[in-house]
Amino acid sequence: MKFFKTPRLFFIPTVFIISFLVIGCVTTDPFVPVDHYVDREDFSMGAKTLEEKNKSIYRDKDRVLYFLDRGMLTHYEGDYKESSSLLQQGERAIEENFTVSISQEIGTFILNDTTKEYAGEDYEDIYLNVFNALNYYHRGEMEGAMVEIRRISNKLRDLAVKHGQLMTNAQKMALENGTEIPPNPEAAVNFNNSALARYLGMLFYRGAGNTDSARIDQNQILVAIADTPSIYKNPAPSSIQEELAIPRGMARLNVLSFTGRSPVKKEETMRIFLGNAWIKIALPVMVPRPSQVASVTIDFDTGESITLELLEDISAVVTATFAKKKNLIYTKSIIRATTKGIAASVLNTAAKRSKENKGVLSLLGLGTQILAEAGEKADLRVARYFPGKAYVGGINLAPGTYSFTITYYNNNKQVISRRRHENINIRANTLNLMEDVCLR
């Protein structure tokens, strides 16, 4: 009778635990309803759906991501005031969560990375100011835009100090002599300078009449591209050199186009046999979201045309930032899973040696292993709605009113999308900046 009692005692809780685990693992991507609208570039409904599903998608620990995701969707929608409010809340949440997440870091060696507050990545902290500067510009609030530009400059300076990547004497000489910028030999793959952020700085400082600051950011665009060729595989756009040399009496139109979407994280699992138990290791991997867009052109009704050039591969920035942290993430995952696996293995070994408590110890061993499996989750948190690439272009025009068409092509030169812009007033001695988006 003892032989049959133990399996029954063992069987009922085990089935319950396994069923609980299986049911708990059957999940769907909560962003599917939002992405449904974003795929169709219906950003208004995308932002509305994200707000409706806020509580089911984001935990309190993830509030930074809610502010960033919805802030970007409302930006694309053209609700620049709401976008500003959300991105500013995201920035404050990053500042507040930074110290908290450091104190919680040791706990991630025992539990998992999702248990700590999300404090954002360096690039997320920079890009939120980039898009907030655009928010203010579109609202005609140039003072607010300049505040965001200064915040970007301060953050990039702090990152350069943090990573020890300041401009070298050789780079300064090259900039003075107009020669090719040599990379910093000490440069590592750290995100501490953004050509996109510097480009906006150059334009806004130029528009404000601050030529010295505009030139500094113009130089920093070239340095950023030279220092991190693993991120910037593209040359500096040719239009950069023209930005501070606008002929007298002429006006300049700058166009900034965002395409595609930045990568997201997916979970990959692997199992290692440790003694008498299999242990699960859950690892986050960065998954790109390819864009259909291969080129962008602007055709004016007056006959002029320009082809936009790639300035910043935002997807490459996201991937490189993750790559720097990957080893630590993987090490923590292995340590965490091994610790839990050892506990299950010890109980399984004890069960084999015990005569009186074999069933109980076996149950505890299996329960420990199952709970370890359920608790081992990869941290898949990342801002989902930043664009994948930023293209730029500029053209000098006589002041006046212009109409033009922005066309997006794929690799086969087939048209993906066309956007018509009618009666745009281009003025001299001011910033004329047009932003366009095609997230396909």
Give the separation between CA 226 and CA 222, rounded to whole angstroms: 6
Other CB atoms closer than 10 Å to residue 135's CB: what's the count? 27
Contact between 236 and 317 under an 8 Å Cβ cutoff? The reply is no
Can you give the pLDDT at residue 90?
A: 98
How far is 196 from 12, CA to CA, in rounded Å?
59
**Cβ partners under 8 Å of residue 174, min gap 6:** 180, 181, 182
The share of the chain scoring above pLDDT 90, in percent, equals: 63
Query: Could you tell me if residue 224 is inside a domain?
Result: no
Residue 304 covered by a domain = yes
Rounded CA-CA distance 39/261 in Å is 10
Measured between alpha carbons, how far is 124 from 263 in angstroms, rounded to an integer? 13
Helix (H) or strand (E) holding 316: helix 314-353
C-alpha span between 236 and 231 (Å, rounded): 12
CA dihedral in degrees (146, 150, 152, 153; nearest 10)?
Answer: 140
pLDDT at residue number 351 = 47
Q: Is residue 199 part of a domain?
A: no
- 3-state percent helix, strand, coil for the chain, nearest multiple of 5: 55, 20, 25
Domain that holds residue 371: 246-440
Closest CA to 221 of 185, 254, 193, 186: 193
**Alpha-carbon dihedral angle through residues 378, 317, 201, 42, given to the nearest 10 degrees:** -70
Q: With H, G, I as helix, E, B as strand and everything else as coil, classify residue 29.
A: coil
pLDDT (mean) for 112-124: 87
Q: Average pLDDT of 379-385?
A: 96
Is residue 62 scored above 70 in pLDDT? Answer: yes
Look at residue 428 in the predicted model and tell me its pLDDT. 97
**Number of compact structural domains in the chain:** 1
Asked if the model's pLDDT at residue 108 lies above 70, the reply is: no
Q: Is the pLDDT of residue 222 over 70?
A: yes
Residues 6 or more apart whose CB falls under 8 angstroms from that of 168 comprise: 182, 184, 185
Let me know: does 307 contact 297? Beta carbons within 8 Å. Answer: yes
What pLDDT does 114 receive? 79
Q: Tell me whether residue 30 is in a domain.
A: no
Taken in order 246, 247, 251, 257, the sign of the CA dihedral is negative
Q: Is it the case that residue 166 has pLDDT exceeding 70?
A: no
Each residue of 182-192: pLDDT tens digit? 666 555 566 78
**More confident: 330 or 109:** 330
User: Alpha helix (H) ranges present in 80-168?
Assistant: 80-104, 122-138, 142-163
Q: When comparing pLDDT for 137 and 378, which is higher?
A: 137
Q: What is the pLDDT of residues 422-434, one digit of tens each?
A: 999 999 999 999 9
Model confidence band, residue 168 (pLDDT cutoffs 50, 70, 90) = low
Share of the chain above pLDDT 70, in %: 75
β-bridge pairing 277-289 and 261-274? antiparallel
Stated length of the chain: 440
| pLDDT digit string, tens, across residues 273-326 | 766 666 778 889 999 999 999 999 999 999 999 999 999 999 999 999 998 888
Q: For 158-175, what is the mean pLDDT?
A: 65
pLDDT value for 25:
45
Residue 300 belongs to some domain of the structure = yes
The pair phi, psi for residue 283, each rounded to 5°, is -120, 140
pTM of the model: 0.84
What is the C-alpha separation between 258 and 26, in angstroms, rounded?
35
Write out pLDDT tens, residues 6-47: 333 333 344 333 333 443 444 578 999 999 999 999 999 999
Q: Is 82 a member of any domain? A: no
The answer to whether position 151 is within a domain reads no
On whether residue 394 sits in a domain, the answer given is: yes
DSSP state, residue 61: G
